[in-house]
Amino acid sequence: MSTVTERPTIGRQSVSSQGVGRRSTGRPESLAQESDRQGTSEADGLAVASFLLGLPGLLLFNIVLGPIAITLATLALVRGTRRRGRALLGLTLGIASLVILSVTIATSHGVLIDIGS
């Protein structure tokens, strides 16, 4: 009569006395699902950041906040965010801030701040 005795777990596999390894079933989910979830979470953060930077970019620091909002929104959409509407809104606000900047420059003949008046 041969009995199989279990040895302590080494890494992710437990080794029996006969040398046959078997997979430990203690993992709740695979690494691919975990990295996908982390990528989606990061893309969601980019979507929110693009919205939050595009909103004040309409009035303040258009030349800086507009392109940053556009870039973050584009990255969020490419990475597959679950907050697609917020990313599109951030993209729209970033573009609108650049349009407002260009209209302001065109109507003031290239002078944004007139200190000597």
Q: Tell me which H or E stretch contains 6.
A: strand 6-10
Identify the band that residue 43 occupies on the pLDDT scale cut at 50, 70 and 90. confident
The structure's pTM equals: 0.64
CA-based nearest residue to 55, from 90, 17, 4 = 90
Rounded mean pLDDT of 1-10?
57
What is the model's pLDDT at position 16?
47
**What torsion do the CA atoms of 66, 72, 73, 77 make, to the nearest 10 degrees?**
160
- Tell me the average pLDDT of the chain: 78
**pLDDT exceeds 60 at position 62:** yes
Torsion on CA atoms 94, 100, 103, 109, rounded to nearest 10:
-110
